[in-house]
Amino acid sequence: MKRGLRRWLWLGVSIVVVGLIFYNLSRSPEWRSFQWDQFWATLTQARPGFLVAAVAVTSSSYFIRAYRWKLFLDSIKKASLWVLFVAQVLGFSSIYLIGRPGEFVRPAYIAKKEEVSFTSQLALLLLERIYDAVFLILLLAVSLEFLRLEAPSPRGASLVAWIHWTGRVMLLVSALLVAGVVVFRLRAARLTASVLRFFRFLPARALHHLERFLTSFSDGLSVIRNWRTLFLSIASSAVLWALNATVFWFAFESLGEGLERLPWFAAAVVMFCAAQGLIFQLPGVGGGYQLAAIAALTQFFAVTKEAATAASMLVWILMSLPCVSLGLLLLFYEGLTLKKLSAIAEEERTAVRGKA
């Protein structure tokens, strides 16, 4: 399937799914009485001090991401922290503006600026995803241990029981995942050969893609060459996700309407749920992200639907607007446009496919 057609198909599926969720919400009895005046009053009374703090925290998170990427890249080349910071901002602003195809902007920009291979940066992107997934799961599990969730309804009670069970399972899964990553790091060549032999019944093209994935995964793990890099990468990941949860908490504190009573760990749980909603995103407006946050606030923490909607919208603005604004300034500074940035990413991807 052609890349353009695949992109439009994925966008169409996302629109349908998000549309169906909105449609079902609008027909539910509790949402038919939605009070728009209360929603706007809650949103417009946000306290500026917390909003400024949230913007500062959001911006600093990109420095943390750049620092972590530098830790990984140092074994290949001593890269500029400024270049890596610009790459993070441009990459995430591209995702907000054009959706998932913007994922390749970061590795492509770094590869071009630092004169390293695009495949090596794809490997680092994969490694970053592993770190983020593990720490997000760990943060959920820890948060659930510190929270006493009181469900407002029988349905909410079943959801609370389910999320506690899920948190413990995810904690176990993350521990197994980390152990698996360590084993793969130590025995990469042997395990890659074993996996390829096991799946030798697959078509040659599929087997080739599997081999490339395992090789990239191995290359990504190979950048962790010593205990110092491992420790600093773990510490920076913990700081990063603590900052991300703090943005949610600042947003809740700024709004009031019962949201200010929520502890920091509640904000972390809402962030985890919102992150799952990223699966179905519409470029520029989000969609699944906000819906998942609203569901978590109303079902787990008995927040009114108007306040939950205002909070989800505010968090989305605090996460996306500073990034996109800074991204546009950096594009101007670098003499680039979003179209040129996308072209750089596509050029690198085409070059990799040509070598395959």
pLDDT for 257 beyond 50: yes
Give the pLDDT of residue 13.
46
* 90-94, 195-199, 247-251: segment of lowest average pLDDT: 195-199
pLDDT for 85 beyond 50: yes
* 2-6, 141-145, 181-185, 211-215: segment of lowest average pLDDT: 2-6
Q: Write out pLDDT tens, residues 327-344.
A: 999 988 888 777 787 777
35: left (phi over 0), alpha (psi -120 to 50) or beta: beta
In terms of Cα–Cα distance, which of 255, 259, 274 is closest to 50?
A: 255
Give the pLDDT of residue 167.
67
Domain residue ranges in the chain: 46-355
Percent of the chain, pLDDT > 90? 22
pLDDT for 81 beyond 90: yes
Instruction: State the residue for tokens 């599990």.
Output: 141
* Most confident residue range from 9-23, 24-38, 146-160: 146-160
DSSP 72-139: HHTTT----HHHHHHHHHHHHHHHHHH-GGGGGHHHHHHHHHHT--HHHHHHHHHHHHHHHHHHHHHH
- Average pLDDT over the chain reads 79
For residues 236-256, give the mean pLDDT.
Answer: 93
This prediction has a pTM of: 0.78
CB atoms within 10 A of CB 116: 17
Q: Write out pLDDT tens, residues 187-239.
A: 877 888 888 888 888 888 888 878 877 777 776 677 676 778 888 999 999 99
Q: Write out pLDDT tens, residues 1-18.
A: 455 555 545 445 445 544
Measured CA distances, 280 to 133, 137, 153, 163, 343 (Å): 17, 19, 27, 21, 24
151, 300 contact by CB (below 8 A): yes
Give the pLDDT of residue 354.
54
pLDDT for 271 beyond 80: yes
Give the pLDDT of residue 82.
94
What token pair was written down for 223?
Answer: 């950048």
Provide the β-strand partners of residue 286: 282
CB atoms within 10 A of CB 207: 14
